Structure 1
Amino acid sequence: MADNKAPASVNINSKGKDEHSYDAIVIGSGISGGWAAKELCEKGLKTLVLERGRDVEHIKDYPTATMPPWEFKHRGELALNIHQKNPIASRCYAFNEETQHFFVKDDEHPYLQTKPFDWIRGYQVGGKSLLWARWTQRWSDLDFEANAKDGVGVDWPIRYKDIAPWYSYAEKFAGISGNRDGLPQVPDGEFLPPMEMNILEKHFKSSIEKNYPGRNLIISRTANLSKGINGRGPCQYRNLCYRGCPFGGYFSSNSATLPAAAATGNFTLRPFSVVHSIIYDEKSQRATGVRVIDTNTFHATEYFAKIIFVNASTINSTLILLNSTSSRFPNGLGNDSGALGHYLMDHNYRGRLYGEHPGFKDSYYYGRRPTGVYLPRFRNLNDSGKENFLRGYAFAGSGSRSQGDVPDGVGIGKDFKESLTEPGLWQMNMNGMGECLPDVNNKVSLDANNKDKWGIPLLNIDCKYGDNEIRMTKDILETGAEMLEKAGFKNVTQFNTEQAPGLAIHEMGTARMGKDPRTSVLNAHNQVWNAPNVFVTDGACMTSSACQNPSLTYMALTARAADYAVRELKNGNI
Structure 2
Amino acid sequence: MNLNQEYDAIVVGTGITGGWAAKELCENGLKTLVLERGPMVEHIKDYKTMNDDVWDYELKGELSKEDKKKYHKQSRIGWAPKEDVKHFFVNDLDHPYVETKRFDWIRGYHIGGRSLTWGRQSYRWSDLDFEANKKDGIGVDWPVRYKDISPWYDKVEEYIGVSGQNLGLKHLPDGKFQPPMELNCVEQELQKVIPEKFDDGRLLTIGRVAHITDNKANIEGRQPCQYRNRCWRGCPFGGYFSSNSSTLPAAERTGNMTLRPNSIVYEVIYDDVAKKATGVKIIDAVTNEKLELNAKIIFLCASAMASVGILLQSKSERFPNGLGNDSDALGRGIMDHHYQLGASAKVDGHLDRYYKGRRPNGFYIPRFVNLDEKTKRKDYIRGFGYQGSASRENWTNAIAEMGYGANLKESILKPGEWQIGATGFGEFLPYDDNRVTLSKTEKDKWGLPQLDFDVEFKENEYNMREDIKKEIAAIFEAAGFKDIAVYDKATGPGLGIHEMGGARMGKDPKTSIVNNNNQIHSVPNVYVTDGAFMSSSSCVNPSLTYMAFTARAANHAAEQFKLGKFA
Q: TM-score with structure 2 length normalisation?
A: 0.94
Q: Any conservation in 1 of the 2:393–2:411 contact (CA below 8 Å)?
A: no
Query: What is residue 35 of structure 1 aligned with on the other side?
Result: 20
Structure-to-structure mapping, 1:91-490, within 5 angstroms: 91-92=76-77, 93-213=79-199, 214-227=201-214, 228-230=217-219, 231-387=221-377, 388-402=379-393, 421-490=413-482
CA contact (8 A) 1:352 1:497 kept: no
CA contact (8 A) 2:341 2:469 kept: yes
Match of 1:522 in 2: 514
**Which letter does structure 1 place at the counterpart of 2:94?**
E
Q: Rg bigger for which structure?
A: 1
Give, in angstroms, the shift of residue 420 of structure 1.
Answer: 7.9
Q: In angstroms, what is the RMSD of aligned CA positions? A: 1.5
- AA aligned opposite 1:462: D
Q: Alignment length, in residue pairs?
A: 546
AA matched with 2:204: L
**Aligned: 1:546 with 2:535:** no
In the aligned structure 1, how far is the partner of 2:328 from the partner of 2:433? Answer: 12
Residue matched to 1:408: none
Determine if the alignment matches structure 1 residue 502 to structure 2 residue 494. Answer: yes
Q: Which of 36, 60, 64 is residue 75 of structure 1 equivalent to? A: 60
Flag the 1:421–1:450 CA change in 2: closer, same or farther, 3 A: closer
* Distance (Å, rounded) in 2 between the aligned partners of 1:482 and 1:279: 55
User: Once the 2 structures are TM-superposed, how far is the Cα of residue 385 of structure 1 from its aligned partner?
Assistant: 4.3
Structure 1 contact 116–463 (Cα < 8 Å) conserved: yes
Deviation readout 1:25-70 (Å, 9 max, x if unpaired): 0000000000000000000000000000000000000000012332
Q: Which moved more, 1:394-403 or 1:278-287?
A: 394-403
Deviations 1:503-554 (A, max 9, x none): 1000010000001000000000000011010000000000000000000000
How many angstroms apart in 2 are the aligned matches of 1:350 and 1:151?
29
The verdict on how the C-alpha distance between 1:420 and 1:245 changes in structure 2, with shifts beyond 3 A counting, is closer
Note the C-alpha offset of 1:307.
Answer: 0.5
**Structure 1 residues 77 and 164: CA distance shift in structure 2, 3 A:** same
Aligned-partner SS, 1:477: helix
Indicate the residue corresponding to 2:397 in structure 1. Answer: none
Unaligned runs of 5+ in 2: 395-408
Q: Determine if contact 1:45/1:266 at 8 Å carries over to the other structure.
A: yes
Structure 1's 22 and 419: CA in aligned 2 closer, same or farther, altered over 3 A?
Answer: closer
Identity among equivalent positions (%) equals 55
Kept in 2: contact 1:175–1:229 (CA 8 A): no
Deviation at 1:233, TM superposition (A): 1.7
More displaced 10-residue stretch of structure 1: 103-112 or 77-86? 77-86
1:284: how far off?
Answer: 1.5
| SS class of match (1:171) | helix
The separation in 2 between residues aligned to 1:251 and 1:350, in whole angstroms, is: 25
Q: Distance in 2 between matches of 1:383 and 1:55?
A: 52
| Correspondence for 1:493 among 477, 485, 503 | 485
Show the counterpart of 1:61. 46
Counterpart-to-counterpart distance in 1, 2:472 and 2:411: 31
Letter in 2 for 1:395: Y
Aligned to 1:413: none
Residues 372, 396 of structure 1: 8 Å contact kept: yes
Taking the aligned partners of 2:503 and 2:546, their CA distance within structure 1 comes to 14
2: CA distance between counterparts of 1:394 and 1:426? 23
Q: Is contact 2:503-2:512 (8 Å) kept?
A: yes
Q: 1:495, CA displacement in angstroms? A: 1.1
Contact 1:350 1:473 in 2 (8 A): no
Task: Determine if contact 2:140/2:511 at 8 Å carries over to the other structure.
Answer: yes
**What letter matches 2:41 in structure 1?**
V
